[in-house]
Chains A and B, each alone.
Chain A
Amino acid sequence: MCAAVLAGTALSVSGLALQTVFCNPLAGPFVLGISSGASLGVALSLLAGFSFGNFGVLGAAALGASVVTIIVMWVSGRFRNVGVLLIVGLLLGYLIDAVVSVLIAGSEAEALRVYVTWSMGSFGRVLLDGVWVFALAVAAGLVLIVVSMRYLNAARLGDDFARGLGVRVELSKKCVLLGASILAAAGTAFCGPVAFVGIAVPHLAFMLFKTTDHRVLVPGAALCGTVLCLLAGLFPVSVPLNAVLSIVGVPVVFYVLVRGSRTGWW
């Protein structure tokens, strides 16, 4: 249960931060490939044998997530179109999946079993001593995001506008993206590649709280994410977590797409 609360918070806040920074309503740790980057880190540590306990897996995941985030940030600076960013994220995801399948081909049966179980996604496997590490990583990510509150509130209007309001954009952006990467990495490392929480929950929070003020949205998204993950955790173990989350997530994303076509995003 602790795992569901932590993962729900981590992925939702990460998704909210990414959507705000990239001014893209369809951004999220999963869509942008950041979760995949974390997965690669996990795969390397589980399959290729670089295992150093909880910190090792988390560290590898955070590193993988950060590398993908840097690539995504670089791309977003070059292409203004919101679609390009998503496609790049998807491509990175595919690339990483390919690398992981090569790793799988060369790995031993026991390591493979651990990896496959992890990759199904679950809130039930985090052990008690692991929870502390998980909580610590989530807290670190949240702090990085919360200290950049002024930037988050101005970011949707563009960097120049935020600068005009006296926000130190470059510093804040790095802070937020690092925070979002850590959160996505923590959620992924401990609970597997969990889909749709990051992309869908920020919109649920918007709908519920009807504000763009991140002082409300950050805790709001954390709350919505927690509730969603707790509900998803209620299903019997035989139902894969990602199946439940997809059933909730896809309609939300679809709604955002339809709504976006009305307001002229695409």
Chain B
Amino acid sequence: MAADVLLKCEKLCVGYGGGSTLFEPFDFELRAGELVGLMGVNGCGKSTLLKTLAGLVPQVSGNVFLDGSPLQSWGARERARRVGLVRMSGSAPDRMTVREFVGLGRSPYSGFLDGRTAEDERIVDDAMQVTDVSCFAERPFSELSDGERSRVFLAEAVAQQVNVLLLDEPNAFLDIPRSHALFRLLRKFVETREMGVVVSTHSVEYAEKFCDRIAVIDGGRFRVAPASEARNLGLLDWARAE
């Protein structure tokens, strides 16, 4: 039996207000336990697609289903417990420590006064451990390097305990060993935590090596294929240097 469908797009059309769409409507399913690489040239709509899937930008037309229900029908907090978008650009909050930042991931679970339980603290510790940021947990976020920040952003989403994890170019600021470690970690998430992960990246090498499927936005179309076949099917043609 096929794994649970976590996220399902039907004739989805994404874009920013005014009805202008970035590429043709498409169907797509994300299942538990799979890692999908999202590729395409700058400005093709990868980020907008991810924002739409996270419910931060309304779709132009079509439907997105999260755990079987339309994305918009979820309450804000319920949605935040299921889907999280990790972005690398974020204003550096002055004075906030890494631990406090990662702790924000527990916000969708907290009560009225944003309190934290011992269980929350344990989950935050675990999230920091698995993303290898525990060693600078008490440092102010604003003093971190870009690479360190990337991991802290990821740690926050891990603390959020989502089952659909969307990442927007997470290895943009990472060196090669760290990028490897990141993709290995994402593999571990999909295999052990039953998560479904969509990660946008410019690295064909990592996409082919670590992802189950590769989705490409090219020439106004969204196409997806198993990672091992993507190259033969011509999905990666746009990435060739002429």
Contacts and interface: CB of A to CB of B under 8 A. Distances in A.
Contact of A150 (B56, B81, B96, B107): B107
Contacts of A150: 107, 110, 114
B56 A164 contact: yes
Size bin of chain A's contact surface? 20 to 34
B95 A166 contact: no
Interface string A155-167: 0111011011111
A165 B107 contact: yes
Interface string A91-102: 000000000000
B100 A214 contact: no
A226 to B, nearest CB: 21
A23 B80 CA distance: 23
17 contacts: A150-B107, A153-B104, A153-B114, A154-B107, A156-B91, A158-B90, A163-B76, A164-B85, A165-B80, A165-B107, A167-B76, A212-B93, A212-B96, A214-B114, A215-B113, A215-B115, A263-B92
A257 to B, nearest CB: 13
B84 interface: yes
Given A147-B112, A149-B113, A150-B107, A168 B95 contact: no
Given A147-B112, A150-B110, A160-B56, A166 B80 contact: yes
A166 B77 contact: yes
A25 interface: yes
Nearest to B160: A165
Contacts of B97: 212
A153 B112 contact: no
B100 A213 contact: yes
Contact of B107 (A23, A167, A211): A167
Nearest to A213: B100
Interface string A22-41: 01010000000000000000
Nearest to A259: B94
A65 B147 CA distance: 43
Interface in B154-211: 160
A150 B79 CA distance: 15
A168 B76 contact: yes
Contacts of B113: 146, 149, 215
B54 interface: yes
Contacts of B105: 165
Interface in B61-116: 75-81, 84-85, 90-97, 100, 104-105, 107-108, 110, 112-115
**Residue from B77, B100, B113, B114 whose CB has the most chain A CB atoms within 10 Å:** B114
A115 interface: no
Interface string A164-185: 1111100000000000000000
Contacts of B21: none
Contacts of A146: 113
B142 interface: yes
Interface in B112-145: 112-115, 142
A140 B124 CA distance: 34
A50 B229 CA distance: 79
Contacts of A214: 114
Contact of B108 (A160, A165, A212, A215): A165
A156 B92 CA distance: 8
Nearest to B81: A166
Contacts of B94: 25, 156, 263, 265
